[in-house]
Amino acid sequence: MRPVPKPSTSRPQLLVSVRDADEASLACAAGADLVDAKDPANGALGALPVDAVRAIVARVGASVTTSAVAGEPDTASALAPCVAAMASTGVDYVKVAVRSEHPDAALAEAAEAAGGRLIGVLFAGDVFGLNIVPRLAAAGFRGAMIDTRSKDGRRLGDLLLPDDLAAFVAACHAHGLLSGLAGSLDVDDIPALAAHAPGYLGFRGGLCRNGDRRNALDPLRVNAALEALRALGRRDAA
């Protein structure tokens, strides 16, 4: 595992979720900043088999930042084992669903299992308070993201107000955590979400053929998202 680069401060980084090594190569070639291993046929945070993630890391791990989803454990006690299994693949970050009711001890155990590389994922449709952000930081998490649980056509902005998203990102910044926003995003969502200054914007369906997350990635859509982000960086630098 190589040292993890810090995200650029000029623009959010582009996270592209992939389901296999071939898609990972495509995303990397198209310019993705982070390749995220995920099973799009198994819910919002469906985990791929460990061997599939190892194949992704072997294919692109030296040339791009990588992450992998460890799933949505049913119980707090299942957090650490799920995380440890995915951390063993050599990815730069591990992502796992967390809930406000998870005890601090279970969060700390999960963070330790990832060796300081754990990203906690919160769902926009769930009830959670910003007090979970300092709890994740205290437990040793590396970052936090918001995603949408139900892939029913509703996008992140349909479930949370801009002020809510801005407050989440600001809380992450205040507590030294990487931040990410995701949830059925489309290229058109980039300017408004980038204004909140998250570290990453996460995509799957919006970058797939016909906008269907179960279809293959479309390199033209990946390029369009990257160009939209680069345009923001150029504008801010002007």
Enter the pTM of the model. 0.92
* Confidence at residue 153, expressed as pLDDT on a 0 to 100 scale: 75
The token pair that represents 224 in the structure block: 């369009």
Comparing 48 with 184, the larger pLDDT belongs to 48
pLDDT of 152 > 90? The answer is no
Which tens digit of pLDDT belongs to each residue from 25-43?
999 999 999 999 999 989 8
* Confidence at residue 91, expressed as pLDDT on a 0 to 100 scale: 97
Q: Give the CATH architecture of domain 13-237.
A: Alpha-Beta Barrel (3.20)
- Could you tell me the residue ranges of all domains in the chain? 13-237
- Give the sign of the dihedral formed by CA 165, CA 170, CA 175, CA 178: positive
CB 117 within 8 A of CB 140: no
pLDDT of 6 > 80? The answer is no
pLDDT of 5 > 70? The answer is no
Distance, in Å, from the CA atom of 147 to the CA atom of 125, rounded to the nearest integer, reads 9
pLDDT of 8 > 60? The answer is no
* Confidence at residue 2, expressed as pLDDT on a 0 to 100 scale: 56
Report the Cα 18 to chain-centroid distance in Å. 12
Catalytic residue IDs: 38, 95
Which tens digit of pLDDT belongs to each residue from 129-146?
889 999 999 999 999 999
